[in-house]
Structure 1
Amino acid sequence: KVVGDFVDNYKVDLPSELAVLNLFDPNTGVPKAIIDATAITDMRTGAVTALGAKYLARKDSKILGHIGARGTSYWNVRLLDHLFDFDEIRVHSRRPESRNAFAKRLEADLGKKIIVTDNWEDCLKGADIMVEASRLPEPAPLFKTEWVKKGAFVVPYGTMSALEFDLTDIMDKVVVDDWGQCGPGKPFGALRRHVDEGKVTAENLHAEIGQIVCGMKPGRESDEETILFWHRGLSTTDVALGAAMVDKAREMNIGQRLRFA
Structure 2
Amino acid sequence: MIQIRFLSGGDIDGLGITSTDVIAAVESVVDAHGRGHTVFEPRTHLVPDNGGVGHFNILRGHVSTLGEHGLSGVKVVGDFVPNYQKGLPSELALMTVYDPTTGVPLAIMDATLITEVRTGAMTAVGAKHLARPDSRILGHVGARGTAFANVTMLDSLFPLEEIRVTSRRPESREAFAARLREVTDTPVRAVATAEEAFDQADILVEASRLEEPTPLLRTASVKPGAFVVPYGTISAVELDLLDVMDKVVVDDWRESRSGRFGALRAHVDTGRLSEDTLYAQIGEIVSGAMPGREHPDERILFWHRGLSILDVALAHLILTRAETASAGTILDYR
Shared fold, TM over 0.5: yes
Correspondences of 1:173-252 after superposition (within 5 Å):
173-183=247-257, 185-252=258-325
1:231-258 deviations in whole A, cap 9, x for unaligned? 0011011111112211111111111001
Q: Considering only aligned residues, what root-mean-square deviation do their CA atoms show, in Å?
A: 0.9
Higher relative contact order (CA 8 A, sep 6+): 2
Q: Deviations over 1:73-107 (max 9, x none)?
A: 10000000000031000000001111111111110
Is 1:42 paired with 2:93?
A: no
CA contact (8 A) 2:134 2:159 kept: no
Q: Please state whether the residue corresponding to 1:189 is helix, strand or coil.
A: coil
- In the alignment, is residue 156 of structure 1 matched against residue 230 of structure 2? yes
What fraction of aligned residue pairs are identical, expressed as a percent? 58
Deviation at 1:112, TM superposition (A): 3.3
Amino acid at match of 1:177: D
Quote the offset at 1:31 in angstroms: 1.4
1:35-55 per-position Cα deviation (integer Å, ceiling 9, x unaligned): 000000110100000011001
Shift of 1:139: 0.9
Equivalent position amino acid for 1:169 in 2: D
Say which SS state the counterpart of residue 101 (structure 2) adopts.
Answer: coil
- Amino acid corresponding to residue 313 of structure 2 in structure 1: A
**1:103 pairs with 2:203:** no
User: 1:142 Cα shift?
Assistant: 2.2
The one-letter code sitting in structure 1 at the alignment partner of 2:133 is K
Corresponding residue number in structure 1 for 2:97: 23
Q: Aligned letter for 1:200?
A: L
Tell me, which stretches of 5 or more residues in structure 2 are unaligned?
A: 1-74
Which amino acid letter does the alignment assign opposite residue 61 of structure 1?
A: S
Partner residue in 1 for 2:85: 11
Give the drift of 1:172. 0.3
Question: What is the CA-CA distance between 1:111 and the residue it aligns to?
Answer: 2.9
Structure-2 separation of matches of 1:112 and 1:173: 29
Q: Aligned match of 1:57 in 131, 135, 152?
A: 131
Write 1 or 2 for the structure with the bigger share of strand: 2
CA distance in structure 1 between the partners assigned to 2:266 and 2:330 by the alignment:
46
Query: C-alpha displacement at 1:113, in angstroms?
Result: 2.6
What is the rounded CA distance, in whole Å, between the counterparts of 2:170 and 2:317 in structure 1?
A: 37
Residues 130-167 of structure 1 deviation map (CA, whole Å, 9 limit, x = unaligned): 00000000111222111111110000000000111111
The list of structure 1 runs, each at least 4 consecutive aligned residues, that deviate by more than 4 angstroms after superposition, is: none
SS in 2 for 1:8: helix
**CA-to-aligned-CA distance 1:200-229 (integer Å, 9 cap, x gap):** 100110000000011111100000100000
Calculate the TM-score normalised by the size of structure 1. Answer: 0.98
Whole-angstrom distance in 2 between the partners of 1:72 and 1:2: 16
Report the Cα distance in structure 1 between the residues aligned to 2:112 and 2:185, rounded to whole angstroms: 25
- Answer with 22-31 or 214-223: which moved more: 22-31
CA distance in 1, matches of 2:180, 2:162: 12
CA distance in 1 between counterparts of 2:130 and 2:99 reads 37
Q: Does 1:167 align with 2:238?
A: no
| Whole-angstrom CA distance in 2 between matches of 1:124 and 1:64 | 8
Q: Which runs of 5+ in 1 are unaligned?
A: none
